[in-house]
Structure 1
Amino acid sequence: MTAMTPEEKFELINRNLQEVLGADQIKQILAQRDLNLYWGTAPTGKPHIGYFVPMTKIADFLKAGCHVTILFANLHAYLDNMKAPWDQLELRTKYYEATIKAMLTSIGVPLDKLKFVVGTSYQLSQEYSLDVYKMLAITTEHDAKKAGAEVVKQAASPLMSALVYPLLQALDEEYLKVDAQFGGVDQRKIFTFAEKYMPNLGYKKRAHLMNPMVAGLRGSKMSASDPDSKVDLLDDAKTVARKIKKAFCEEGNVDDNPLLEFLKVVVFPARSLTDPTYKFVVKRPEKFGGDIVFDSYQQIEDAFREKKLHPVDLKTGTADAINALLEPIRTTFKDEALIQLSKDAYGDAQAAAKQIKKPVQNSAEPDVENISKLDIRVGRIVDIKLHPDAESLYVEQIDLGEPTGPRTIVSGLAKHIPLSELQNRTVLVLTNLKPSKLRGIESNGMVLAASTSDNTTVELLDPPSEASVGDHVSFEGFDYAPVPILNPKKDVWKKCAGEMKVDGSGVAVFRNVPFVVGGGAVKARSLKDALIG
């Protein structure tokens, strides 16, 4: 095999990534030697098929000659709200190691070229601990909150563990002696934190490689609390087929389709590692036209866009492809020792934890999952004008950090807030309402505001100063798992809004749980004990 050039190695390293910070730095290193990088995972919930995304990239890195370290970040897992006692975390670390190795083996990745490290093997050393204290001495609370906002659940008054978590992840780069860190795009704020603070300790700034986040089967992020949003690595074939059958898959929609996304990012790259001639097959009876065979992902996307491939057929083919990917892992975990390890790591203690966390509800209360379905984000009004056909309405262009540019949103604020006060104003926007036309102009979201019960006084909700455009609002104790579009027939927003208010201290809350974004609480400027809508 012909040796790869530095340019070819960089292209392979960069393939299918969403973003790279420090690309020039990587190119300079590749011109002299192979790259050293690491990927870390905190052993909390069970790994699911989404983990194949980093696994397929690790295969790319190895093919490009990179020296790859996989970190089982058990101390980080403990800091993440102490989701499991330390003894159980040790078992989960072993389970993660067995699972990750089984995944890599199943797609033909040689384990002998990888280095596996457990976090506490060096994170409890005197040298590392002193560096943690040094980092604490120079890190502001604001920066620590912001860095961990997308990774560790935050509250208006977060635990110190949530603030320390990103500091440790930054220091791992130095103690693992790498040139770059690899992770999901949800890690971006931790990566930029590391780039800012590591040089302050006298350590070099590393490059950062980011994967896209794969949506769950319901069209939102895969969530451990929603079993049907993900496929577990040990789900049997019938369970996989059932979950895929329930997946969000709108006919002709290729832009918001978790099945197509998974085929593109995981199935084709993973299967091609062991079978360069891999073909995607949809099995159908002869009376329905017989099997359909696709040689590439693009052929599948084109056929689905043109409605030549029906959602039912796409689901059938995807379920078969996932089952083929999982079968070697299922076979590995038939080992009695691994079966017992799985029970010990995620058995009765996990069930008990779920029971404790589950709120008691009566029939009059809204579904606890509803708040998780909302996608509330920080936006900035970049242009605003009166609606040409309604003096009570504004037409706003709101920047939400989306690549498609600002959204058009129509709101009924004209009688309550002067136009001059809204230009360049930072606001909160409910982004996944079904688009609707208001006096002939389509509105693609709702600006959230607080109001008195008689609606005589209205104020916009204010994100904290540490929040950035595009940041999403979270609620401690509830998952962030928004659906692409809220079903208007289920009145999800109406049910949630009924339990939202501005409390006596001016903080926006849902069931007394604060709206949190960028590590800070959302507030109204002067209203207290007010409604939100």
Structure 2
Amino acid sequence: MTTNGVSKMTKEEKYRLITRNLQEVLGGEEIMKILEERDLKLYWGTAPTGKPHIGYFVPFSKIADFLSAGVEVTVLLADIHAFLDNMKAPLELVKFRTKYYEQLIKAAFISIGVPIDKLKFVVGSDYQLTKEYSLDNFRLCATVTEHDAKKAGAEVVKQVESALLSGLLYPGLQALDEEYLGVDAQFGGVDQRKIFVYAEKYLPHLGFKKRAHLMNPMVPGLAGSKMSSSDPDSKIDLLDDEATVKRKLKKAFCEEGNVTENGILSFVKYVLFPIGTLNGRTPSFVINRPEKFGGEIVYTDYQSLEDDFRDKKVHPGDLKAAVTEAINKLLDPIRKKWASNPELLKLTRQAYPEPTSNKAPAKKKESKKHSLNDSSNNSSNNSSEKPVDVSRIDVRVAKIIEVKHHPSNPKSYVSTVDVGDASGKPRSVVSGLAAYIPREQLQGRYVLAVCNLKPAKFQGVESHAMLLAASSPDNDTIELLDPPEGSEIGEAVTWEGYGIAERDAEILNPKQKVFEKVSEEFKVNEEGIAVFMGIPFRTSKGTVTLKTLREGTIR
């Protein structure tokens, strides 16, 4: 990608390179007019929320095309957007995640041979908090209808039942970024099309020019749907090790002959082949297989591979093996950079913390009769060494099948609850909800249940789980936590930056009060979102919100 190489390209050649493999271009004629006089100026933005995954290589490979065509590319680290999008990133973590994203994105570009000295990195809050930007934002808000703002963010901003005002501001800020970054065009996924149309409509209302918009196709994830940071099984993180990459690809959706909903083939098409053409190289994708199954085959164009896969000449297992090798080759330089740099490892912990208890463990008196072969003593020590954090709490989506009054306590219910156990058998759960919620409102209801507490008896009836409910500060209102619509029974509730409790791996010892210590940080914030230390409760379908309760505790 030399300057001399760029200068020899005609405007038509630059335009073809700029627009190749895109799904849609808005304002193509304007781009051609600009190319007649000078090189294009463009920005791509990313909000530092969840850990970047291999899906980011799709825009990265396209940005490599832009640079080859002489485009001036700005990478916007949209920290304010990260918080506005339904609090995907708590404010106290945004600054660390912004730095993490910048370092990881730079490492990823280097891994595919893109010179980062040609990229300009800008942090959104550096100009979005200025007086001028705020005034323009107010001017924009005075012209935009609620309907248009909500419609613009429908495909990008996380949709919840009780929508936040921040979600309406998000599209406007993204539109204003085009003016404040001084670009001719914005680049993003086709899922942002409504925001791009919004920008084209409303920027002229403020006296600003309309920009062009370039859109990548949306690449399916490993599970067959959109690749998402909130669904661990749909993505491979840029720092996943070789074994993890192999494991995730092995169970990825890759139906024989299916070329339409195939995230693995899409990755080959939109990442591996475009990267293979950088610096004038001829791309090649190699599938190694035993001679009895056809032997090695080398593809120099994507269409031939797709045709062979459609015709079942290439087996999904062989395709997965080849892509596993290619992805590990891409990620290896990034992993090595991280492993050799203590500051980057520290930054990772700051951006995605795994906190332990603030209390120092009490020293135990050593017994003179202590034996190294005392298995019960060793087990106790191992348990006490585990971190006291939310990753040890097994919270799942559950469904209440039947509700009866407790035979000895009119203020309690005994419910039959399906928590998605492998046995298929529901659990009996005692709850003190009879004084707050009518029985008919619980029947068939989806709830959140803590499933790894030690069973306990309540007035003669044993309870094998605990339903999570929130209470108002004055304790006058009690409301069950409802999972987002579409969440599946047995699905784990997650908190970004924390692991998930392994089922059946640990029944929490009541003497250690692990749940009691962790749940002290379970809150309902002022937006009605269930949070742990400010981090939202999530399922694959979105954030856990409460219908009416605002600001309260969860137990």
TM > 0.5 = yes
Alignment-derived partner of residue 138 in structure 2 = 133
Deviations 1:324-362 (A, max 9, x none): 111111111112111111121112269978889955536
Identity of aligned residues (%): 62
Instruction: Give 1:336's match in structure 2, choosing from 337, 342, 345.
Output: 342
Question: Could you tell me which amino acid in structure 2 is paired with residue 26 of structure 1?
Answer: I
Which stretch shifts more, 345-354 or 111-120? 345-354
CA contact 1:22–1:208 (8 Å) conserved in 2: yes
Consecutive unaligned residues of structure 1, counting only runs of 5 or more, are 369-474, 482-515, 517-533
CA contact 2:259–2:306 (8 Å) conserved in 1: yes
Alignment-derived partner of residue 295 in structure 1 = 300
Deviations 1:467-521 (A, max 9, x none): xxxxxxxx9946899xxxxxxxxxxxxxxxxxxxxxxxxxxxxxxxxxx9xxxxx
Alignment-derived partner of residue 306 in structure 1 = 311
Quote the Cα distance in structure 2 between the aligned partners of 1:286 and 1:227.
36
1:488-503 aligned at under 5 Å gives the runs none
Deviation at 1:158, TM superposition (A): 1.7
Deviations 1:105-158 (A, max 9, x none): 111111111111000110010000100111111111111111111111234542
CA contact 1:49–1:230 (8 Å) conserved in 2: yes
Tell me whether 1:347 sits opposite 2:317 in the alignment.
no
Alignment-derived partner of residue 16 in structure 1 = 21
Deviation at 1:85, TM superposition (A): 2.7
CA 1:144–1:480 in 2, change beyond 3 Å: closer, same or farther?
Answer: farther
Alignment-derived partner of residue 57 in structure 1 = 62
Which stretch shifts more, 186-195 or 330-339? 330-339
Deviation at 1:291, TM superposition (A): 2.6
Deviation at 1:77, TM superposition (A): 0.6
Alignment-derived partner of residue 248 in structure 2 = 243
Alignment-derived partner of residue 74 in structure 2 = 69
Consecutive unaligned residues of structure 2, counting only runs of 5 or more, are 357-387, 400-415, 422-481, 489-540, 542-555
CA contact 1:103–1:329 (8 Å) conserved in 2: yes
Aligned residue for 2:37, secondary structure, equals coil
Quote the Cα distance in structure 2 between the aligned partners of 1:149 and 1:67.
30
Instruction: Give 2:164's match in structure 1, choosing from 130, 137, 159.
Output: 159
CA contact 1:75–1:119 (8 Å) conserved in 2: yes
CA contact 2:152–2:194 (8 Å) conserved in 1: yes
Deviation at 1:59, TM superposition (A): 0.6
Quote the Cα distance in structure 1 between the aligned partners of 2:98 and 2:299.
39
Alignment-derived partner of residue 361 in structure 1 = 398
Question: Could you tell me which amino acid in structure 2 is paired with residue 342 of structure 1?
Answer: T
Aligned residue for 2:244, secondary structure, equals helix
Question: Could you tell me which amino acid in structure 2 is paired with residue 345 of structure 1?
Answer: A
1:440-451 aligned at under 5 Å gives the runs none
Quote the Cα distance in structure 1 between the aligned partners of 2:210 and 2:274.
30
CA 1:477–1:318 in 2, change beyond 3 Å: closer, same or farther?
Answer: same
Aligned residue for 1:247, secondary structure, equals coil
Quote the Cα distance in structure 2 between the aligned partners of 1:199 and 1:353.
48
Deviation at 1:245, TM superposition (A): 1.1
Tell me whether 1:112 sits opposite 2:149 in the alignment.
no
CA 1:110–1:229 in 2, change beyond 3 Å: closer, same or farther?
Answer: same
Quote the Cα distance in structure 2 between the aligned partners of 1:217 and 1:147.
27
Question: Could you tell me which amino acid in structure 1 is paired with residue 154 of structure 2?
Answer: A
CA contact 2:397–2:419 (8 Å) conserved in 1: no
Quote the Cα distance in structure 2 between the aligned partners of 1:48 and 1:200.
37
Question: Could you tell me which amino acid in structure 1 is paired with residue 346 of structure 2?
Answer: Q
Which stretch shifts more, 247-256 or 158-167? 247-256
Instruction: Give 1:259's match in structure 2, choosing from 264, 282, 290.
Output: 264
Quote the Cα distance in structure 1 between the aligned partners of 2:214 and 2:389.
37
Question: Could you tell me which amino acid in structure 2 is paired with residue 67 of structure 1?
Answer: E
Aligned residue for 2:277, secondary structure, equals helix
CA 1:367–1:298 in 2, change beyond 3 Å: closer, same or farther?
Answer: farther
CA contact 2:74–2:120 (8 Å) conserved in 1: yes
Deviation at 1:247, TM superposition (A): 1.2
Quote the Cα distance in structure 1 between the aligned partners of 2:393 and 2:270.
36
Quote the Cα distance in structure 1 between the aligned partners of 2:78 and 2:355.
20
Instruction: Give 1:323's match in structure 2, choosing from 310, 325, 328.
Output: 328
Quote the Cα distance in structure 1 between the aligned partners of 2:326 and 2:334.
14
Deviations 1:236-288 (A, max 9, x none): 11111111111111112222222111100011112332681342122234454
Q: How many residues align?
A: 377
Quote the Cα distance in structure 1 between the aligned partners of 2:9 and 2:28.
18
Give me the TM-score of the superposition, normalised by structure 1: 0.66
Instruction: Give 1:281's match in structure 2, choosing from 278, 281, 286.
Output: 286
Quote the Cα distance in structure 2 between the aligned partners of 1:357 and 1:286.
47
Quote the Cα distance in structure 2 between the aligned partners of 1:73 and 1:10.
27
Q: Which has the larger radius of gyration?
A: 2
Alignment-derived partner of residue 149 in structure 2 = 144
Alignment-derived partner of residue 552 in structure 2 = none
Quote the Cα distance in structure 2 between the aligned partners of 1:299 and 1:331.
34
Tell me whether 1:171 sits opposite 2:208 in the alignment.
no
CA contact 1:153–1:476 (8 Å) conserved in 2: no
Instruction: Give 2:89's match in structure 1, choosing from 84, 89, 99.
Output: 84
CA contact 1:155–1:476 (8 Å) conserved in 2: no
1:384-533 aligned at under 5 Å gives the runs 477=484
Question: Could you tell me which amino acid in structure 1 is paired with residue 343 of structure 2?
Answer: A
CA 1:367–1:96 in 2, change beyond 3 Å: closer, same or farther?
Answer: farther
Deviation at 1:292, TM superposition (A): 2.5
Give me the TM-score of the superposition, normalised by structure 2: 0.64
CA contact 2:283–2:300 (8 Å) conserved in 1: yes
Quote the Cα distance in structure 1 between the aligned partners of 2:47 and 2:96.
13
Question: Could you tell me which amino acid in structure 1 is paired with residue 72 of structure 2?
Answer: H
Quote the Cα distance in structure 2 between the aligned partners of 1:479 and 1:346.
27
CA 1:357–1:201 in 2, change beyond 3 Å: closer, same or farther?
Answer: farther
Instruction: Give 2:36's match in structure 1, choosing from 6, 31, 35.
Output: 31
